[in-house]
Amino acid sequence: MKKSLLIFVAGIFLFSCNTGVENKSGEKPVIGMAAENVRNETLRSWQAYKKYAWGHDALAPLSKTAKDWYEEPLYISPIDAYSTLYMMGFEDETRLIEAYVVDSLDFDKDLDAKVFEVNIRILGGLLSMYELSRNAAVLEKAKDFADRMLPAFDTKTGIPTYWVNLKTGQAHGDTVNVAEAATYTFEMGVLSYYTQDPKYYQAGKKATLAIFDLRSEIGLIGDVIDVNTGEWVSTQSHLCAGVDSYYEYLYKSYLLFGDDELGRLWEESIKGINTYLAETYDGKLWYGRADMHSGEKVSSVITLYDAFFPAILALSGDTDRAIKLQSSWDYLWNLNGLEPMVYDYKKATSSYPAYDLNPEIIESAYYLFKITGDSSFYKMNAQYWSDIKQYCKTDIAFTSIKDVETKEQKDYMPTFFFAETLKYLYLTFTEDEQSYPFSDYTFNTEAHPFKRNHFDKSKAGRYLGFVNSEQ
Ligand code: DMJ
């Protein structure tokens, strides 16, 4: 029997030996052994973080030490981990994080933070912490943090600089990629909704419109831009790392807030993507790189981040392409049992064969499993989880891999492993459909969940400052 089939059959058998995790009403919903296993591994890794890296940004699981992104820690792992721990029902742990954030976390730090990264992890994490806890003091922290980010958006184009100093507001770094330029409408929109102050969403949307307005005659964008001149520094068009979440937020922000303008931007963008970037090579669907002006293919080098795209295709209704693309990514994963960071689908080589516990292929399998109901996507995630446990597990947690062929380990557990990878695995496997139904939630690009019906579309225009044409 094939290994993947064996895992699936074992999964079905184990479902009959269900365990439970208490929910808020004191009931014990059945989650099944596969989900329970992810839950146990999450707790084991979280406890390792607490023991060896508490108060710091991330855990280095081999040396059993802490790593910080900047001169001072910003507490990124716990903020990123919160929504996953919450959904898994670890109430003591989430209460601990919440208390630390409210009582001890002070963002008045003289350090330069990467605007894009702290937006999706810290602002996104804090907003979902508020969304789940309804603790008003957490919303105040989120607002304080966003106010410290806003000076970065004060450029000629409205596209934020790469860095912003959290204490002084001094912003610098004129060259950014498209993801760094325009992945803000989601978090800024949520904050505008909750504060009823449009300034956040307006700043994020201005940056998004600036990128869209700089598209070529054939409707493609480049990938690196100067925030002051608005000139493309690189005219390569793709949906790989460095662009990915720009497209993701066009659709997701439209979905969550109902801003039709973003919906139109998505519709226009996806036409160019499917016309010029998509190609079938060796019987597999891939999205490569093309020149934004001529539309001619310039490269078949992709990154594992691109595996987010089947999820967005499926969410936006193009299940056919989503299934084909996911099958290409599944093929790539199974070449080595983990996927390489960078891969050339024509040369079948990797110039950077690391795997950093990234979530994207798992995220897409989760979406496809929920949208199509096809168990082959469940099986994919069972396979990926089994491989991650085989190659990335350490005595205290999980760690990144230097080379997917040799499986040599690095000494780092990224914060998105808590936020995304473990969450999407858990949500795929859990039998408890009641607590977090797929169609009730929209996730930011760091997998922080926001309940769709918390955002009343008849109020969103007013709170976020947009007008739909039919209103
Ligand atoms: C995450 O931080 C986010 O999903 C981001 O958009 C790109 N990918 C990383 C994890 O791989």
DSSP string, 31-51: -HHHHHHHHHHHHHHHHHHHH
Could you tell me the two tokens for 165?
């100093």
Q: What distance in Å separates the CA atoms of residue 257 and residue 399, rounded to the nearest whole number? A: 37
| Amino acid sitting at position 302 | I
Name the helix (H) or strand (E) containing 290. strand 289-291
- 113 near 163, Cβ under 8 Å? yes
Q: Three-class SS of residue 225?
A: strand
Query: Is any ligand 1 atom within 6 A of the Cβ of residue 246?
Result: no
CA distances, 399 to each of 388, 411, 413 (Å): 9, 6, 5
Pairing of strands 449-451, 236-237: unpaired
Residue 13: the pLDDT is 38
Query: Is any ligand 1 atom within 6 A of the Cβ of residue 445?
Result: yes
Q: What distance in Å separates the CA atoms of residue 224 and residue 328, rounded to the nearest whole number? A: 27
Q: What distance in Å separates the CA atoms of residue 435 and residue 357, rounded to the nearest whole number? A: 26
CA 471 to ligand 1 centroid distance, Å: 35
Question: From atom 1 of ligand 1, which residue's Cα is the shortest distance away?
Answer: 446
Nearest to 153 by CA among 195, 116, 108: 116
CA distances, 469 to each of 128, 258, 264, 465, 466 (Å): 30, 12, 12, 13, 10
CA 402 to ligand 1 centroid distance, Å: 18
pTM across the whole model: 0.94
Q: What distance in Å separates the CA atoms of residue 402 and residue 352, rounded to the nearest whole number? A: 9
Residue 86: the pLDDT is 98
Q: Three-class SS of residue 3?
A: helix
CA distances, 461 to each of 80, 129, 203, 299 (Å): 29, 24, 15, 41
Residue 6 CB neighbour total at 10 angstroms: 12
CA 389 to ligand 1 centroid distance, Å: 21
- 293 near 235, Cβ under 8 Å? yes
Residue 464: the pLDDT is 98
Query: Is any ligand 1 atom within 6 A of the Cβ of residue 446?
Result: yes
Write phi, then psi, for 177 (nearest 5 degrees): -85, 175
Residue 27: the pLDDT is 67
Could you tell me the two tokens for 172?
């610098």
Q: What single string gives the DSSP state of each residue in 323-380? A: HHHHHHHHHHHHHHTS--SEEETTTTEEEE--B----HHHHHHHHHHHHH--HHHHHH
Q: What distance in Å separates the CA atoms of residue 448 and residue 131, rounded to the nearest whole number? A: 10
For the chain, list the domains and their CATH numbers: 107-277 (1.50.10.10)
Question: From atom 6 of ligand 1, which residue's Cα is the shortest distance away?
Answer: 445
Q: Which atom of ligand 1 is nearest to the CA of 415?
A: 2
Q: What distance in Å separates the CA atoms of residue 14 and residue 18, rounded to the nearest whole number? A: 7
Residue to substitute in 183, 360, 364 for testing ligand 1 pocket (most ligand atoms within 8 angstroms of CB): 360
Residue to substitute in 244, 355, 418 for testing ligand 1 pocket (most ligand atoms within 8 angstroms of CB): 244
Query: Is any ligand 1 atom within 6 A of the Cβ of residue 161?
Result: no
CA 444 to ligand 1 centroid distance, Å: 10
Could you tell me the two tokens for 177?
């990629």
Q: Tens of pLDDT along the chain (471 residues)?
A: 344 444 443 444 343 334 344 555 566 788 999 999 999 999 999 999 999 999 999 999 999 999 999 999 999 999 999 999 999 999 999 999 999 999 999 999 999 999 999 999 999 999 999 999 999 999 999 999 999 999 999 999 999 999 999 999 999 999 999 999 999 999 999 999 999 999 999 999 999 999 999 999 999 999 999 999 999 999 999 999 999 999 999 999 999 999 999 999 999 999 999 999 999 999 999 999 999 999 999 999 999 999 999 999 999 999 999 999 999 999 999 999 999 999 999 999 999 999 999 999 999 999 999 999 999 999 999 999 999 999 999 999 999 999 999 999 999 999 999 999 999 999 999 999 899 999 999 999 999 999 999 999 999 999 999 999 876
Q: What distance in Å separates the CA atoms of residue 323 and residue 364, rounded to the nearest whole number? A: 9
